[in-house]
Structure 1
Amino acid sequence: MTDPGKVIGFLDLAGLWDPSLALVMGGAIAVALPGFAWARRRGRTWLGQPLTLPAAGRIDRRLVLGSLTFGAGWGLAGFCPGPALVSVAAGQPKAAVFVLAMLAGMAVYECLESHVFSR
C-alpha cells in the first residue's frame, strides 16, 4: 500500500486493474469485524472508561463530499494517509509532499469548521 503505482492500478477499473489491494482490505475487514462485534457488547474499555462507538447511520452531504475529496486525493496522489506516513519514514519525497498537503488540508478544514460551519 506504500507503492503509489499499486494503488493507482487498483483504482484503474477501466485499464489494467490490479485487484491485490482488495485482498489486503478484505483481510483487514475480516480481522477487524470480530473485534468490533466484541467491543460493541462490552460497553467499557480495558481501562474502565465508557466505550462509545459511532452511532451515525445516515449519509449526509458532508459525508459524501468528504468521501469524494478523500477518494480524489487518494486516486491523484496514490497515497492513503497511513501508508503515506510509512513512505515518509522510508524517505520517499513524493510522500512527504503528500503528507504536507494533507496536513495543510486538515488545517484549512479546522479553520473552516470553527469559523464558517459553526455559525
Structure 2
Amino acid sequence: MALNLVSIVNKGIEQAFEELDFALLKTRPIADENGEVQAYRATVVVTADHSNYTRSNGEKVEGVNAGEVLQLTVRNNRMPDVKGMVVGVKLVKPQVHAVYATSAQDSTFATINLSFSAENLLLPDQKGGHQ
C-alpha cells in the first residue's frame, strides 16, 4: 500500500478518508478455528482523492492518492456478496494499526506501509451497513 501520508498526518485518518472515494474490488472471509466468519479482508481502490496540500516550495498537490489499492480488515462478520467492482463504498471508523517501513539492503529509500481496519463497509445502496 503506498498511500501518500500527508493528508492522514495533517487531518487524521477519519477526515482524510472522508476526502477519498472508494470502490470495493473483492472480499475474503477471515474465519476462526471452527470455520465461523469473524471478519473479512476487503480490497478497495481509491477512485478519487478530493484532498490537497501545499509543499514547502509552494507547489500545490491535488488528488495524490487516486488509483491506490488498499487491503483492510473489516471487523464485521456480515461480508457483502461482491460480483464485480462496487463504486461508492464508505469505510466506517477506519483505523491505522501499524506503520512500518521496508527497504532494500544498502538503499537510501524505504516504502512506508500501513495496516488498516474498518468497523464496517457501507455499500452505496445501504444506509446502516450491509444486510
With normalisation by structure 2, the TM-score equals 0.20
Q: Which has the larger Rg?
A: 1
Higher strand share goes to which structure? Answer: 2
Higher helix share goes to which structure? Answer: 1
With normalisation by structure 1, the TM-score equals 0.21
